[in-house]
Structure 1
Amino acid sequence: MRIELGDDEQPEIGLIALIDCIFFLLMFFMVATSFKQKETQHKDKAIPITLPRSSATLELADAAPDPLVIRVDRAGQVAIGEDKLSIEALHARLSGEARAHPGRPVRIEGDGNASYQSIVHVLDLCQFEGLTNIAMRARRQ
């Protein structure tokens, strides 16, 4: 007895899948060998470099002076260094600093919980005395 299977088709080899597989193998070997070459190239070869030298030197007199650090605590108290100052004393100290060192930078370090008004008041005093190079920083205590 004979079973009819339909049209007699010739068996085919899936060339598309075979080409994809060969392409991926080719790419893998290309990448793997290029990594290996780069490692050996860096170990074997070194490029001698002569770096330029500067003929000018930096004078210490031209260096920027240390900033005047004004601390404001959470209660609004102002201090320079270890000296706690009132607003009037701060005004006098800033006036003296502005006359002695006109370009001296000022850094206001305010407590993270200090009132905004206290910081602005110190900032206004600095600007009133002509100290315009001012930096501000919030700190946690």
Structure 2
Amino acid sequence: MPRSRGATEQGDFGDSLIMALGENRFEIDDSDPEPDLSPMIDCVFILLIFFIVTATFVEEDGFQVNRPEDSAAAQANDNQTLVLVVNKDSRVEHDGRTVTLEAIPGIVQSQLQAEEKSPIIIQSDPKSRHGVTMQVQNACLEGGAKPTKITLTDS
């Protein structure tokens, strides 16, 4: 039986449409795709290494304290040596008396008039404030002293 032209075309078209829609030629993955992060991590590590290698480190100027040997204690016993003690309460003492920071330049000047090359030792308790020790040293320099020796005393 001959087919009508309309039926054949509709049948062929319908079959091809069903074949195209019904047949899975490609697998569809419904899960969320996750990007590969390893190239990005590699780049981050390379940049990190680059910045570490090329970084310039700032060297801060510090104050150098040379801890003297036991000979400094022997020098402190001489009458020619001026000894200023900064105790753990950050009070300054000279010859067993508490002195103010303003009085230190005068003490240093009188000591240097008596003995021109008289050594000056600042004995600072480790528990005292560092700023007070530096103020004592600056007061000694104001009094005309050359750089002083700073020793740390054990309490």
Q: TM-score, normalised by structure 2?
A: 0.45
Instruction: Give the TM-score, by structure 1 length.
Output: 0.50
